[in-house]
Amino acid sequence: MSADLDQVSAGKEIALTFRRYRDGDHEQESWREWIFDGDHTHKCPTYVQSTPPCQGSCPAGEDIRGYLAVVRGTEKPPKGMRWQEYAWRKLADANPFPAVMGRVCPAPCESGCNRNEVEDHVGINSVEHFLGDFAIREGLSFEAPAQRTGKKVAVIGGGPAGLSCAFQLARKGHGVTIFDEHEHLGGMMRYGIPGFRTPRDLLDAEIQRILDLGVEARLNCRIGRDVTMDEVRAQYDAVFLAMGAQSGRALPLADCDAPNVVTATAFLRAFNDGRLQHVGKRVVVVGGGDTSIDVATVARRLGHIQNARPTDIESAIAGRLAHDAAAVSARQGCEVTLTSVFPVDKMQANKHEVEQARAEGIAIRGGYVPIGIVRGADGRATALRVAQCTAKMAGGKLDIQKVEGSEEDIPADLIVSAIGQAVDFTGIEEFDNGRGAVNADKNYRVAGTENVFAGGDVIRPHLLTTAIGHGAIAADGIDAVLRGIELDKRPKIDVHAFDLSRKMIEAGLEIKPAEEPLRGSDTHVGIHNFENRANRYVIPATEMFLGHFQYVDRNRRKVTTLSRDSALGNFQERLEGLSEAEAIAEAKRCMSCGMCFECDNCVVYCPQHAVYRVSKKESTLGRYVGTDYTRCIGCHICHDVCPTGYIQMGLGE
């Protein structure tokens, strides 16, 4: 310490945490007061909004913390609006399909949930399920835009990406026409998922809400066959490519062109169309993997989660193609065998999915690779030839090693390939990047174009929720182009976040700009010592006071498990939603990471009475407490006892 003082008195520049003397001081003061003040710093509390890892992990960018706060009662709805509707509107602002996604999304948000570090994640997906069903039951609709722009956008493909983009564009006032080659809209939500996982009345209701915004649909119309791209460009101001990847990948084997060897997408489309009348007595399905194995790992990395618990629906849609094809066959009375190159305990489907399949009489054989197709005299396949194998990921690719001498034939009347999906570029080959996908930038604008955007599986096969997020981001880009605005870089964390200004306006509070930088909590000024880092910072559990939260069991949805006999002909939904009381109780388990939830810890534990509640007539969510900096000594206690990490230490050097 004395060496530092000598350097200061000699006028030498050294790195210090604070100034000990003012310029011109020549007398050394007593160090007694400095020693007695050693319990504090010059840093004082600031209020920092961060992104919770659930939202950072959500491919659709939902304001998850926001709608859970409404359900739990922390955030109040505007006057005259029920909390259920307000929560649904917050949710549907990013994702117009909560009833569908609440049933089929593998919930990476739950893998990233910080509550995993306490006991178990919040059942976000189940609350979404509840809100989606409520909105349909109550006939809620979206608000039409106040003004129309006169601009027109062509959306090619009526799946989750196309419908999401159309929804966002219509709300921005643009005219939208969806071109789809099928008889109905929905894409993979309709043609890739059986009705016992996505009830068609719910899907139809959520699609109709989008059409009610004035969106036009031209069905049974394929771009490149019925209408050329030149005609589209001539009639529309912008284009969004959302064709999806609905062409299944055939088995890489000779004789895979046998009439009874089909892809899983073709199989499920035929079933969902009602064209699948008979599948034979013995069905072999090849697959059981998951093209989206990075989902959970990404979610956990975002939130630094070490102990993520299994979600209700952990495997992605692409990974379910095999299971759904097998389940449909079993329910038609077939003997079904599902093969995977991975051992059963290493398959990407969660244990519950495997148990469900086995309960329905499906034989699962892990560690087998298909090596050939046995054909009869009539040209039809009679068996799938397989061999035992080992499989592992190496350098981002799947390395499969066959065990010599382990070959055998599995008899089959129908062989279904569920090893992946591909985009059909027939008629629009100009957009194929040579690898069966479309090249696009971070705004999802197609490379080399000004007003053509793309999203969903044409970029990379992934989750339905991912496609919804692509559609929303592309809609922002299209809107900017149509308004003549230069596209900016997307934020590091691209989510629908809490907006304190909007909340103050809802509460009837006036936002007055500060005349000079504030160093105190003047409640007459709109936003005081509040910093929004939500576009660049995901708050980890280590920044929170987890000791505040007690162990609370998760409210789980009931799942009907069928037996081999009861599965026959049973195509009823087997996932039962939460009751209203259960949904509220589950939302209360949310730790509100990065946002105040009004626990009063900071007020109670402040030894200087420097932290106080803002008066009720001026308070809102995120603006519940303020700080009197004339009393604050920077002791950090408010920060240490803040359960959510909303209070950070700043302002000082």
| pLDDT value for 289 | 54
The sheet with strand 335-340 has its strands ordered as 261-263, 414-417, 282-286, 335-340, 363-366
- A 10 A CB-CB count for 576 gives 12
| pLDDT value for 65 | 95
Of 422, 241, 183, nearest to 321 (Cα)?
Answer: 422
Strands 421-422 and 368-375: unpaired
* Residue 270 CB-density burial (10 A; 0-12 exposed, 13-18 middle, 19+ buried): middle
What stretches in the chain show pLDDT beneath 70?
1-42, 277-278, 288-304, 313-320, 348-353, 396, 511-528, 561-571, 651-653
- A 10 A CB-CB count for 223 gives 23
| pLDDT value for 512 | 62
325, 416 in Cβ contact below 8 A?
yes
DSSP 159-210: SHHHHHHHHHHHHTT-EEEEE-SSSSS-THHHHSS-TTTS-HHHHHHHHHHH
| pLDDT value for 358 | 84
3-state secondary structure of 451: coil
Q: Which fold is adopted by the domain 152-245+423-482? A: FAD/NAD(P)-binding domain (3.50.50)
Residue 77 neighbours by CB under 8 Å, 6+ apart: 70, 83, 85, 86, 87
> What one-character DSSP code corresponds to residue 617?
G
311, 103 in Cβ contact below 8 A?
no
- A 10 A CB-CB count for 397 gives 8
Alpha-carbon distance 397 to 360, whole Å?
33
| pLDDT value for 395 | 73
Tell me, yes or no, if the two domains 44-49+498-548+594-650 and 152-245+423-482 fold the same way: no
3-state secondary structure of 649: strand
CATH 3.30.70 applies to domain 44-49+498-548+594-650:
yes
pTM (2 decimals)?
0.83
3-state secondary structure of 523: coil
Chain position carrying tokens 């983009």: 165
Chain position carrying tokens 């094809």: 325
| pLDDT value for 531 | 80
Q: Which fold is adopted by the domain 249-422? A: FAD/NAD(P)-binding domain (3.50.50)
- Structural domain boundaries of the chain? 2-33, 44-49+498-548+594-650, 152-245+423-482, 249-422
| pLDDT value for 446 | 95
602: its two tokens: 């900071």
Of 291, 296, 245, 247, nearest to 59 (Cα)?
Answer: 296
Q: CA-CA-CA-CA torsion for 440, 445, 447, 450, nearest 10 degrees?
A: 180
Residue 377 neighbours by CB under 8 Å, 6+ apart: none
**Is the CA virtual torsion 344, 349, 350, 356 positive or negative?**
negative
| pLDDT value for 27 | 66
